[in-house]
Amino acid sequence: MFRLETDRTLIESFRPRDRRVIEMPADITFPLFVRDYLAWTETSGGRVYLVFAAPGSRKPIGIIFRRDVSSGGPPTTQMCDWCHYSGSSNEVGLLTADVNSKRRVGVNLCMDLRCQAKLEDAADRTGRHPLEALTRLRERMSRFAHEALGIQVQPAA
């Protein structure tokens, strides 16, 4: 869990190179307590925003993904690399993030980043508590941020 005091703290969770393209969600009020992560989609649908804290940390990390729309072809079933939800290519697909001005990396994810809701639903249906699954989800997010984007992920001191 972490707290975002103002829109400025939300913007500062993103890398400096990404801050110029942030489209803030319309229905957000501050201060904002975030339990696991915050995700929203740009009104045009081209970008998906993610703000989370690594397990054991309260420092938020922001990532901006682009939705890469595949050109034509029949819908296929794909699996989200983070929550392991299987869905059609309209629900799960390639989201990419800029590493620098010349390089992007991608990962197959739920296109709306609603992994938390899917994990909580699965836990409810099986009679389990979702805490362990949500912790693993944030670990996967952290690993992507660190290994693919080079973002330093530090646990709380």
- Nearest Cα neighbor of 29 from 60, 53, 3 is 3
- Report the percentage of the chain scoring pLDDT > 90: 80
Q: How far apart are alpha carbons 93 and 88 in whole angstroms?
A: 8
Which sequence spans correspond to the domains of the chain? 2-148
State the average pLDDT over residues 94-117. Answer: 96
pTM across the whole model: 0.92
CB atoms within 10 A of CB 52: 24
Residue 155: the pLDDT is 62
State the average pLDDT over residues 21-29. Answer: 92
